[in-house]
Structure 1
Amino acid sequence: MEMSQYLEVFIEESKEHLQSCNDHLLELEKNPNNMDIINEIFRSAHTLKGMSATMGFDDLAKLTHQMENVLDGIRHQTISVTPDLLDIVLLAVEDLEEMVQSIASGGDGKRNVQEIVEKLKLIEKGQSPNEFEAHNEVAAAIAEASSDIFYDEFERTVIQQSQEQGYRTFEITVSLRSDCLLKAARVYMIFEVLEKIGEVIKSTPSVEELEEEKFDQSFTVTVVSTEEAEDIQKKIAKVSEVENVKVITVILPQSGSTYGQRVEKEDTESAELVDSKVDQSKIESAGNNKEKSQPKQQSGKAVNKTIRVNIERLDILLNLFEELVIDRGRLEQISSELNNQELQETVDRMSRTTGDLQNIILNMRMVPIETVFNRFPRMVRQLSRDLQKKINLDIIGAETELDRTVIDEIGDPLVHLIRNSLDHGIEAPDVRKSLGKPEEGTVILKAYHSGNHVFIEIEDDGAGINRDKVLKKALGNGIINEQIAETLSDQQVYELIFASGFSTADQISSVSGRGVGLDVVKNTIETLGGNVSVESVEGKGSRFLIQLPLTLSIISVMLVEIQKEKYAIPLSSIIETAIIRKDEILHAHNQKVIDFRGKIVPLLFLKDLFNVPVYKEENEYISLVIVRKGEKMAGLVVDSFIGQQEIVLKSFGNYLTNIFAIPGATILGDGQVALIVDCNALIK
């Protein structure tokens, strides 16, 4: 049967269940006796096992099944929660994530999980996971002695459970006549007989190969049944063109009695799920099992109805809407030129409707930032162990939403900043104790909305930034000279850590010290139209502040004119506009500046920066757009203001690259192209 229609749902739900496992495992470490947490992890693992087996991803199902056994032992208090146990289970979840990612990328989801499965099995038996090498050899010997066909851990468990319930397992080797022309048809007829007498759990060669006739004359099928071997042999022998039928009883060692009692209620489900021939009834069965594992909704309680939509479809929808925005601008211009009352009313109504539509489309693309934040608790746990530090990560505002395009890019910069806080910021426990601080350091990851921006803060209560050490490193690396160093404020010194190749680490480690990281963070965030700054108090801690736009596709701008060309300056960068006289321009350090509300603001003549052809000379008044990047300001000199407008940002793609301070363009209502100005690139 064609399974592709279920694949997308399987991938999305698997990711959700794995994230749930991750989150709850970290909670379990803090509250090892909380049964609610253990039950949540068990439910996620159980559902994932059923889905994986139904879809035919055996390695996924095998590993999840063994993880489920360990969790069941914790539920029944036969296994204790320890850091070492959680290390193994988290490694298992990591393997599961890799397999799901492989499936999502078009792979087969296969991965060698034998080692981690054996470790989990030893934990289940109350042994040390370090014994898995010796145990693996014993298990292989048992399997080899029991049968000529190799059964993986999952299949052996099913056989053992079936034996405990009074079923028998048979290896049935069927040989077809040498003159058989339609081997696939005979295989189909044999499987019809087998499915009536029991449950098929393995086929050698696989069912797919048998259906494609990729075998000689014989094949072997393993079946669980209550019937006698002789009766099975007779029923298969009645199929036309079957030359010989050989039936062997398979007996594997019984599993422990406690284990058998615990999974007794799941035996039927397990047998169904490993059926190699996936058909519609199996999918429905798995769906029913999933429903049973979910807590029932209380009657009368509202249920949110959702539908999954591929992000590519939303991109197409947004592109179509962007064209609509361009046409809307054109209609507004035509309406104002014709001065027709009815047309004007219609256009105004359409503008309001498209404005509402725009909000809906952009909101559809908004994703909670928790999709990025979710990866950090496990990372912090592992790094704190590697660095031998005690660190607590507090996450605030994970429900804050950002456009999907921004979400995809922000993950790596945040990883760098958090690693930086863990390595450089938080001190070792003995050092913190000697300073009168708690042994456990705290890193706070916080996100919140403000205006048309999202702010992300990474704050730690560590050592802070050592001003003298930063200056010494910056001078040694040639980033600044001694004359400049003497004039820098504390804040300007702290900003030096974002310089390329800068690092304060005395030794290179696996965590940091190579001078790669914070400069990449700054460049990535500025490419997204945001900015990053740092505040610090030595001995108290540091705080990194990231400012990001809510969306990157449709933005509000101030349209300006320079000679005969039009430019768009994002409103998010603008403080205000002003008109000044020429004689108000001052000169300082070979730079034209103005006194703007008591601050010296440098002037940037866009006409000269962008080499705009001159058709008319300036008059005695100059139009200015005052823009800001962090604490820095500049005055952009233009010829005139056109007004505010919402525009669609169109990138140049691969046609034009590395154009200074021009990230893209937009099409205006009259069909003209206006270039968009990147204020962050202009202010250095």
Structure 2
Amino acid sequence: MEMNQYLEVFIEESKEHLQAVNDHLLVLEKNPEDISIVNEIFRSAHTLKGMSATMGYEDLASLTHQMENVLDGIRNHKIKVTAELLDVVFQSVDDLEAMVYSIAAGGDGKRDVKEVVAKLVAIEKGESLITTNSPTSNTEKVVDQKNVNVGQDLSENYDQFEITVLQQSREQGFEGYEVKVSLRQDCLLKAARVFMVFEILEQLGEVIKSNPSVELLEDEKFEDSFTVTVVSKETPKDIEAKVSKVSEVDQVIVNLLDLSLLDANVQEKDEEIEVLPSEYIQQDVQVINETEEKKQSQTKAANVSNKTIRVNIERLDILMNLFEELVIDRGRLEQISSDLNNQELNETVERMSRISGDLQNIILNMRMVPVETVFNRFPRMVRQLARDLGKKIELVVVGAETELDRTVIDEIGDPLVHLLRNAIDHGVEMPDVRRQKGKNEEGTVVLKAYHSGNHVFIEIEDDGGGISRDKVLKKAISKGVVSEQTAQTLSDKQVYELIMSSGFSTAETISDISGRGVGLDVVKNTIESLGGSISIDSIEGKGTTFSIQLPLTLSIISVMLVELEQEKYAIPISSIIETAIVKKEDIMNAHNQKVIDFRGKVVPLVFLKDVFEVKQMNQSDEFLSVVIVRKGDKMAGLVVDTFIGQQEVVLKSLGNYLTSVFAISGATILGDGQVALIVDCNALIK
């Protein structure tokens, strides 16, 4: 069988299953007695193992199998969930992720996992010390491969736990079945067929056991037949029909278990076997019920989800590039139409513009990705950092469904990691310090995302010690960032922004947690390179909030076109407050800087002709055209010759040779074929 065609799907689904395992493990740590969570983890691990074995990645399947053994012990109440145990399971997931990424990069998926396997085996051996007294030797018995005698003493083939589950399932309306499956003698991938059969049976109900055992089936240590015991509300005919659809399955025989024989058998063995506590029994019956309900809901959801397909992101990039060319041609047609002033041409171009605008929205929405794809890795990271630092921290994620363009998503991960590490290392205090301050010893870090207009805001808020104004100023003065005289005039917000200066850090010692004293300047530069901004609010003793503002997309943006002599420039609409016509006589001077009074605020003027060294052909009249722009709480007035109007343009990079051009973030091609440079307002506001 040619497996390469399935490789991409395997990689993507493996990542999804590993993320699901990570998420559920974090929930399990807070609810260690909730067996339903363990079942979810087990199901994801089991699916991953089967997929890996089918694709031929034995190391991946083997490690997943070892992890699955521990999970099986937990859900059978033989192993207790502890933080130390979860550390080992998390380490296993890390190794599994490394293997999957190795495969994605073209590797063989092999990795040295002797250490973690040894830990898993040790945990598995420990379960035997607290195993209940119920006999387990019967679990490895192989049922007669020719017939399943449903009238036999069932206790010979089922242990006490399995019998109890079967009994309770019957009371809840489920039936017990023994499904005997025979594979064709020429079947090549027996383990893969077994996996597919189990997948179908798990959709129909809950698997109780198998003969031979799951381990033997996975290792293909069986002839051509195996038997699976399930509880389900399906009819034997339906079960037989659905399992028979698996290729290379030769025969399926479904026998109804005579559960009425169980009552007498159990009574006779009550004196010999220690029965599990009733709450455990109820938990497992509840799991079966929940599973059945979930399977039904999944069936309904499947009718909707099967209308979706996976699309390679490279294809979306190609589609976006083609549409960008269409936007340029659309602008050209609009200009030609305006020049010719032909009614029919005007109507046609107007209709084409409207349709292409709808197409643009569809394409942009196709590229939108929930920030959840970035946020998903943070709970695990926060847990590990908290344990390393000896702190207790709860991460609260809000608005993970908020969507951003993929190009922004790709860049925002590292800045968020740095900010979270900073909040955990410098923000949240140690538990004993928090108790002394009258706080809960467990600190809280809130990661929030939400839409507002054409922007997405991401906030990281902690309830730690806040930022000390005096400490920041002292450090800033000692490093020469500000003078003592200037320091006295700064507002609190301006002081907080000093911590994002290059090389600035208030940490007493350099640590590996929050960046080796690099500070937050890298974070600021990255966010501003994306056309965004970052601001800080803090109350000493109460906590700190970092707020990041990002554009929804980077490729097609709305701009105000302006002219300087014969040159055209584009100013992003997202940075503009408004445009104004100012009399020259209203211009004032302050600290060697020309300023204007704009709605009661002093706004400095920036003459773009001087910034971009545009040769002045003639002197303008008594009025100036000014574009008022803003960056955070700072404003500036950009002086231009004339306003051309608003337009949607395609943002093009200047390339590797023009990376250091001041105050220019890119370029665009206008409808008449001219190139207009896009002004970086953030660089002009100081």
TM range (shorter): 0.7 to 0.9
CA distance in 2, matches of 1:66, 1:567: 62
Q: Which amino acid aligns with 2:61?
A: A
- After superposition, the C-alpha distances for 1:292-346 in whole angstroms (9 at most, x for unaligned) are 9993556665422211111111111000000000111111111111111111111
Counterpart Cα distance in 1 of 2:551 and 2:222: 49
TM-aligned CA deviation for residue 553 of structure 1: 0.1
From 561, 566, 580, the equivalent of 2:568 is 566
Is the Cα contact below 8 Å between 1:569 and 1:677 reproduced in 2? yes
Partners of 2:332 and 2:222 lie apart in 1 by 61
Judging changes above 3 Å, is the alpha-carbon distance between structure 1 residues 199 and 326 closer, same or farther for their aligned structure 2 residues?
closer
Q: Which residue of 1 aligns with 2:227?
A: none
Residue in 2 aligned with 1:612?
A: 614
Counterparts of 2:336 and 2:627, CA distance in 1? 28
Pick closer, same or farther for the CA change 1:284–1:29 going to 2, 3 Å.
farther
- CA 1:121 to 1:346, structure 2 compared with 1: closer, same or farther past 3 Å? same
Counterpart of 2:256 in structure 1 is: none
CA distance in 2, matches of 1:439, 1:284: 58
Q: Can you list the C-alpha shifts for 1:476-515, whole angstroms capped at 9, x where unaligned?
A: 1111111111111111111100011111111122213732
8 Å CA contact 1:503, 1:513 repeated in 2: no
- Asked if 2 retains the 8 angstrom alpha-carbon contact of 1:53 and 1:274, the reply is no
Deviation at 1:196, TM superposition (A): 4.7
Tell me what 1:74 maps to: 74
- Residue 662 of structure 2 aligns to a residue whose secondary structure is coil
Counterpart of 1:139 in structure 2 is: none
> Using a 3 Å threshold, how does the CA distance of structure 1 residues 271 and 669 change in structure 2: closer, same or farther?
same
Alignment CA distance shift 1:608-1:122 (3 Å): same
SS where residue 126 of structure 2 aligns?
coil
Which of 634, 637, 647 aligns to 1:635? It is: 637
- 1:90 aligned residue: 90
- Please name the residue that 1:270 is paired with: 218
Residue 28 of structure 2 corresponds to residue 28 of structure 1: yes
Looking at structure 1, the residues matched to 512 and 430 of structure 2 have their Cα atoms a distance apart, in angstroms, of: 17
Alpha-carbon deviations, 1:191-244, whole Å to 9, x = none? Answer: xxxx95897999xxxxxxxxxxxxxxxxxxxxxxxxxxxxxxxxxxxxxxxxxx
Could you say what secondary structure the match of 2:60 adopts?
A: helix
Amino acid at match of 1:593: V
> Deviation of residue 263 (structure 1)?
7.8
Runs of 4+ residues over 6 Å off in structure 1: 161-167, 197-202, 260-263, 281-286
Question: SS at 1:650's partner residue?
Answer: coil
Q: How big is the shift at 1:261?
A: 6.4
Residue-by-residue CA offset, 1:521-560 (whole Å, 9 max, x unaligned): 0000000000001000001100000000000000000000
Partner Cα separation in structure 2 for residue 299 and residue 201 of structure 1: 27
Output aligned runs, 1:475-486, within 5 Å.
475-486=477-488
What whole-Å deviation, never above 9, does each CA across 1:118-169 have from its counterpart, x for those lacking one? 211221121699xxxxxxxxxxxxxxxxxxxxxxxxxxxxxxx9997899xx
Aligned to 1:132: none
In structure 2, C-alpha distance between the alignment counterparts of 1:299 and 1:388, rounded to whole Å: 45
1:77-226 matches, cutoff 5 A: 77-126=77-126, 196=185
With over 3 angstroms needed to count, the CA separation of the structure-2 counterparts of 1:384 and 1:622, relative to structure 1, is same
Question: Number of residue pairs matched?
Answer: 562
Counterpart among 437, 440, 444 of residue 438 in structure 1: 440
Pairs within 5 Å for 1:375-394: 375-394=377-396
1:58 matches 2:58: yes
Query: For residues 271 and 612 of structure 1, what CA distance do their matches in structure 2 show?
Result: 76
- Kept after mapping to 1: 8 A contact 2:372/2:401: yes
Contact 1:413–1:521 under 8 Å retained in 2: yes
Distance 1:584 1:309, change over 3 A: same
Contact 1:402 1:550 in 2 (8 A): yes
Matches within 5 A, 1:262-661: 264=212, 266=214, 269-271=217-219, 295-297=295-297, 302-304=303-305, 305-512=307-514, 514-661=516-663
Q: Is the 8 A contact 1:15 1:100 kept in 2?
A: yes
CA change 1:331–1:85 in 2 (3 A) is same
| Partner AA of 2:592 in structure 1 | N
Letter in 2 for 1:306: T
Quote how far apart the aligned CAs of 1:617 are: 1.9
Give secondary structure in 2 for the equivalent of 1:480. Answer: coil
Equivalent residue for 1:18? 18
CA distance in structure 1 between the aligned counterparts of 2:519 and 2:602, rounded to whole angstroms: 33
**C-alpha displacement at 1:453, in angstroms?**
0.2
Q: Which amino acid aligns with 2:366?
A: M
Q: Separation in 1 of the partners of 2:97 and 2:299?
A: 35
- Structure 1: 5+ residue runs without aligned partners? 130-160, 168-194, 203-259, 276-280, 287-291
Tell me if structure 2 keeps the 8 A contact 1:67–1:120: yes
- Rate the CA distance shift 1:273–1:648 in 2: closer, same or farther, 3 A: farther
Q: Do the aligned partners of residues 46 and 585 (structure 1) sit closer, same or farther apart at CA in structure 2, a change above 3 Å counting?
A: same
Pick closer, same or farther for the CA change 1:72–1:591 going to 2, 3 Å. same
Indicate if the aligned counterparts of 2:626 and 2:639 stay in contact, CA closer than 8 A.
Answer: yes
Q: Which amino acid aligns with 1:318?
A: M
Q: Give the aligned residue type for 1:391.
A: I
CA distance in 2, matches of 1:510, 1:663: 33
Give the drift of 1:282: 14
State the percentage of identical aligned residues: 72
Q: Tell which deviates more after alignment, 382-391 or 553-562.
A: 382-391
CA distance 1:567–1:298, shift in 2 (3 Å): closer
Deviation at 1:21, TM superposition (A): 0.3
Counterparts of 2:549 and 2:58 in 1: how far apart (Å)?
A: 45
C-alpha contact (below 8 Å) 2:559/2:573 kept by paired residues: yes
CA distance in 2, matches of 1:446, 1:85: 30
What letter matches 1:459 in structure 2?
Answer: E
Task: Give the AA of the match of 1:563.
Answer: E
Distance 1:315 1:197 in 2: 45
Mapped contact 2:143–2:211 kept (Cα < 8 A): no
Residues 162 and 550 of structure 1: CA distance in aligned 2, closer, same or farther (over 3 Å): same
User: Aligned AA for 2:556?
Assistant: I
2:533 maps to a residue whose letter is: N
Q: For the Cα contact (< 8 Å) 1:273–1:282, is it kept in 2?
A: no
Q: TM-score, normalised by structure 2?
A: 0.78
Q: Confirm or deny: 8 A CA contact 2:140 2:212 kept in the other structure.
A: no
Distance 2:222 2:113 in 1: 18
Q: 1:165 to 1:501 in 2, by over 3 A?
A: farther
Task: Say whether the 8 Å CA contact 1:561–1:567 is kept in structure 2.
Answer: yes
| Letter in structure 2 aligned against 1:407 | I
1:222 is matched with none
Asked if the contact 1:26–1:378 (Cα under 8 Å) also holds between the matched residues in 2, the reply is yes
Q: 1:62 to 1:583 in 2, by over 3 A?
A: same
The two structures, once aligned, show a CA RMSD in angstroms of 2.9
The one-letter amino acid paired with 1:331 is L
Q: Which runs of 5+ in 2 are unaligned?
A: 130-138, 146-183, 192-207, 224-243, 250-291
Amino acid of the residue matched to residue 84 of structure 1? E
CA shift at 1:616, angstroms? 2.3
Letter in 2 for 1:570: P
Structure 1 residues 56-94: Cα deviation after superposition (integer angstroms, max 9, x where no partner): 111110111111111111111111111011000000001
Asked if the contact 2:560/2:573 (under 8 Å) is kept, the reply is yes
How far apart, CA to CA, are the structure 1 residues paired with 2:492 and 2:593?
25
